[in-house]
Amino acid sequence: MCKIMNDKMGLELQDVTYCYEGETLPVWKHLSCCFLKGAVHAICGPSGCGKSSVLYLLDGLIPHMYEGKLTGKVLLDEQDITEELPRNRCDKIGFVMQNPESQFCTFTVEEELAFGMENLEISRDIMGKRITEVLEYIGLSGYEKRDLNDLSGGQKQKIAIASVLVTEPEILLLDEPTANLDPVSRQQIFELILRLSKEKHMTIILVEHNVEEIIEYVDHLITFDLQGKVLFDVSGDQVEISYRAWIESQQLKKISGEYERSEPSQECVLQLEDISFSYQGQGIRKKYINEEDYVLRHMNLQIYKQEFLAITGKNGVGKTTLMRVIFQIFRQNEGEIFLYGKPVDSYRKKELYRKIGLVFQNPEEQFVTNTVWDEMMFSLKKVKISQQEKEEKVENMLRRFHLETEKEKSPFVLSQGQKRRLSVASMLLTDQQILFLDEPTYGQDYENRLELMNDMEMLRKEGVTIIMITHDMSLVKQYATREVEIADGHVVSETVLKGGRP
């Protein structure tokens, strides 16, 4: 039963056991915990331990969208809502998912904020008033007509939260809301979450790998181990003590900032000369584009063989766009890109992608099959080796990334950390010599993050060039041989780190 019993009880899980359809082991067994009204709750634990599944259960996605065997009860204000569909809970419970773009249903900010209220049959007058008020509250007044695709990562996350706030729920569920944001945007989201609790007395239930920045404001902490067992279920003064103990347990494999790095080569493998790009002006020349529409502005950059390059900068400055242009997903308006001394647009796409690989920021965007095994085999479809060699290669890679027990699952039902590991593993199968990683440790716990980055370092020592877009400055310090910072669409600073190119 719940360890905290008082008149402020909000949501409660009673003796819950759940096993996803097709699985033999449950996510958690006999789970009982409660969430108090108006309190800030944090749920922590390693990747794949069932943190997000708790939110799915509270929101009703389990068992009504994600099928499986469920026993136990979900209580809201002491009323059993286990059989209530998600749509019948949304007036009281709001859910913001890991990737804000995955829950957008429309094209503009105003349309997105109106969408949920339309489903609740709220009148137009009230809708307009709420949209104005919530945009002011989150600091985005005047953004009603903005295209969602033109927003920065931090702005998208704020709009995802706002789209829930306009329905005025009592409880807000947040799944890794800051995992993919720069430090400034991350702080803004945390501040918004705390304001909602303090000023609107909203119940906050937050899944996070790292709540370091707000741990002193967390009222209740639940921590799982990898098997889905509760390690800590504490409140008050015990929250910070227990959180520190959990963090320390995650950092048993420490590695110094003095990590030994081998020196990169002097050979330039990728060169950008005066690159400019605008989404509004794709395919047309510079003279027909307004200057303020440019995402990349006169970008110049050289990348050297066997270096570990970190590209940093705030959300929205053009980092991901830069990769899309390099991969010719979009064509630059001005300038030239050279790969191994040859214009990149002179390569056939098949030839280009055998030389450079891209691990997407959102793993789901690169999945094309129905199982983990098929996803890995698909990467080897055009590789001229025997079927046995392909299977051995896949088995080895699945073991390397701790996915061997997940091979029959759909990639889309994996945890966020497992999805990230699968996206990296499937790319590494094809042995590209230049590998781009867009926020590679997004959704990873400390141990998996460490293992993934050590794998990247081993690849670099084998001759692979690694280019990493990241907001995690500890990764930069620990692994990068050079850091390039981007602001306003161009390189504003360049720092050679220990072991980097002289």
Is the residue at 447 inside a domain?
yes
User: For 291-316, how does the pLDDT look when each residue is reduced to its tens digit (9 = 90+)?
Assistant: 777 889 999 999 999 999 999 998 77
* Residue 162 burial (CB count, 10 A): 23
Q: What is the pLDDT of residues 78-98, one digit of tens each?
A: 999 999 999 899 889 999 988
**Is pLDDT at 256 greater than 60 in this prediction?**
no
pTM for the whole structure: 0.71
CB 49 within 8 A of CB 227: yes
The Cα–Cα gap between 152 and 88 comes to 32
The helix (run of H) or strand (run of E) holding residue 233 is strand 230-235
Q: How many CB atoms lie within 10 A of CB 125?
A: 8
pLDDT score of 498 more than 80: no
> What pLDDT was estimated at residue 275?
94
In this structure, is residue 394 part of a structural domain? yes
Q: How are strands ordered across the β-sheet holding 171-175?
A: 93-96, 171-175, 203-207, 40-44, 220-224, 230-235
Distance, in Å, from the CA atom of 358 to the CA atom of 373, rounded to the nearest integer, reads: 20
391 part of a folded domain: yes
Do the domain assignments include residue 403? yes
Model confidence band, residue 22 (pLDDT cutoffs 50, 70, 90): confident
Query: What pLDDT, on a 0 to 100 scale, did the predictor assign at position 84?
Result: 94
Contact 56, 102 (CB under 8 A): no
Q: What is the pLDDT of residue 92?
A: 92
Are 309 and 467 in contact by the 8 Å Cβ rule? The answer is yes
Cα–Cα distance, 403 to 104 (Å, whole number): 30
CATH number at residue 373: 3.40.50.300
Mean local confidence (pLDDT), 27-45:
94
> Would you state the pLDDT for residue 271?
96
Q: Is residue 163 part of a domain?
A: no
Gap between the Cα atoms of 35 and 10, Å rounded: 6
pLDDT, tens digit (0-9, with 9 covering 90-100), for 362-373: 788 889 999 999
Q: How many domains is the chain partitioned into structurally?
A: 1
Most confident of 279-293, 297-311, 398-412: 297-311
Give the pairing type, strands 93-96 and 79-80.
unpaired
61 found inside a domain:
no
- Tens digits of per-residue pLDDT, 161-178? 999 999 999 999 999 888
**Is the per-residue pLDDT at 261 higher than 60?**
no
Q: Tell me if 140 is assigned to some domain.
A: no
Give me the domain span that covers residue 471: 268-272+303-331+346-496
Does residue 1 have a pLDDT over 80? no
Using the CB atoms, write b or e for 389-428: b if 16+ within 10 Å.
ebeebbeebbebbbbeebbebebeebbbbbbbbbbbbbbb
CA 429, CA 403: separation in Å to the nearest integer? 14
Q: What is the DSSP string of 282-321?
A: TTS-GGGS-GGG-SEEEEEEEEETT-EEEEE--TTSSHHH
CA-based torsion, 278, 279, 280, 284: positive or negative: positive
113 membership: H or E segment, kind and range: helix 109-119
Mean per-residue pLDDT, 476-495: 92
- Residue 281 confidence (pLDDT): 66
In-domain check, residue 132: no
Between CA 212 and CA 78, with CA 93 as vertex, the angle to 5 degrees is 100
What pLDDT, on a 0 to 100 scale, did the predictor assign at position 255?
A: 43
- Compute φ and ψ for 264, nearest 5 degrees: -65, 165
In angstroms, rounded to a whole number, what is the distance separating the alpha carbons of residues 276 and 294?
Answer: 7
Tell me how far apart the alpha carbons of residues 10 and 353 are, in angstroms, rounded to a whole number.
52
Of 285-289, 365-369, 404-408, 422-426, minimum mean pLDDT range: 285-289
